[in-house]
Every structure is written in C-alpha cells, then in structure tokens.
Amino acid sequence: MKLTSTLLVAAQVLSVLALPAPQETTSDVATTATVTETSTSASATATATAAPGAGEGEENKENEIEQQGQFNRVIRLGGGNVKIDTLFPAGVNGVFEVEFQNQQARNLRVRENRNPAPPPKGFTALEPVSYIVELSGNPRNVALQKIDYIRNANSTVDISQGQIARFCREAQAFVFGEGELEFEAEENELTLTVSNMVGEWAFFVPSAGAGAGAGAGEAGNSAETGAGAGAADQCGPGTLCRALLDALQGLTGQAGAQRR
C-alpha cells in the first residue's frame, strides 16, 4: 500500500473512531437477551472434558476444560475462574477457537458469515468465512478472552506470519492491530488476546509475492506488506505516518471495543 493511501485510510478511520461512542444496543454487543440457553441446549451443543492433570513445569492444566462447540448454537461457559477452550468444526485450513476464563459464567454463540468483506490488501483469507462472536453480559468485565486459529493437521499452509483481524463497521473493512497476537509453533496456532471478543473475526496470511516484513507481531504495518523497505522507513519512529498508525491501533482496541 502506498504511503499516501495509508495516511488517507488512517486519517479517515481515526476521524470516525474519535467521535463519542454511541450507546450499546443488542445489535452491537451480545447481551443475555440475545444469547440465551437452557440446560438442555447447553448439553446438546458441547461436551466438556477436563484436561489431564499437569505435570511438573505445567501451570494450572488441571484447571482447564476443552469442549467442542457448534456454530449457531448457544454454549454455556462455566465460571469459577476455570479456563474453557471451545473449538468449532474445522474449516478449509484450520479450526476456530475461543478461550474464556471468568469468575461468572456466560453464554457464547458463534456464527459464520459466508459472505465476509474482502481481505486487506496484500493478504489472503485462510477461510472463505468470517466468525461472528456473541457473548452474554458485558464482555469488558471478562478476565480472559482469546480468539484463536489452529491449523488443520492435513494443511500445508504456513500460518506463522498470519494475522487476526476484526471487522470495523466504520471502515467497512477488516482491521489489524488489536490485542496481543502470538504464534505458537508447537500447536501451529495463532492466538489473539483481546479485551472484547464480541465482533466479527477473520484470519489472513500474506499473499504470495507480497514481500516480507509482516511478522506476527507487526500488525500495524501488515497492510503495507509488499510496499518495500522505502515505505517502511517513511513510517518509522517519529513520522506522521507512524503516529497515525499508532493512534489507529489504540483507538481500534479502545473506542472500537466500545462500539461492538
């Protein structure tokens, strides 16, 4: 992406996100009214299995639960500060996973969007769908929230440079830069720690021939993949471009979270 395009897009999004956040409605944030369940539906959608006890050097594995979820079904996430990993049916290249830990129980629902927005420039989607996450209650009060993508065992796609993006309604596009992104090589897993999991998520890798430089921890510069070292230098520390990108990342993680 050229420098001028980067500045224009960043300035437009910043001007929108800087406006006062509107009052949340049930269409923006999943509430108990939109994500409800009975004990019967909970047992039908997911079967929880306690993880094996931890050996020496492993922390709190006995305080974790892994369960299988289904799309469009409400799933009960228990409280008690037990970490719950909910895995959904495998896609073309990988599995969508939600990690949750909190004192109070919540209800979770994940829906597939089969007609998502196009990938950011220079990137290719790992799946033909995006994932819409709904959670009962106030998501900003949850102790641990993670959005994960685990590569299928039979997939050969390299996701080590992958990115996780949230759909921004104001920009009508997927935006990188929110939360703390990590790639876990042993599990072939992308994991993003966020303060608000509610929203629409998708997973991307740099397109073939797009060039290097979009590392897993460089989400702010990922949209500029393929622009070459010259463009990266112009967005270096102390430049207006860098300031706009940093501000965009901050607003995406703060003001953006309030809107969803």
Output the tens digit of pLDDT for each of the chain's 260 residues.
444 444 444 444 444 344 443 333 333 333 333 565 443 344 334 444 443 333 444 455 668 999 999 999 999 999 999 999 999 999 999 999 999 999 999 999 999 999 999 999 999 999 999 999 999 999 888 999 999 999 999 999 999 999 999 999 999 999 999 999 999 999 999 999 999 999 999 999 999 844 433 333 333 333 333 333 333 334 445 444 455 556 666 655 544 444 44
CA distance 19 to 75: 35
Residue 140 CB coordination number (10 Å): 12
Q: In degrees rounded to 5, what are phi and psi of residue 151?
A: -65, 140
What does the longest C-alpha to C-alpha distance in the chain come to?
59
Please tell me the predicted confidence (pLDDT) of residue 63: 85
CA distance 97 to 68: 9
CA distance 214 to 254: 23
- The reported pTM is 0.64
CA distance 199 to 109: 11
- Per domain, the residue ranges of the chain are 27-49+61-259
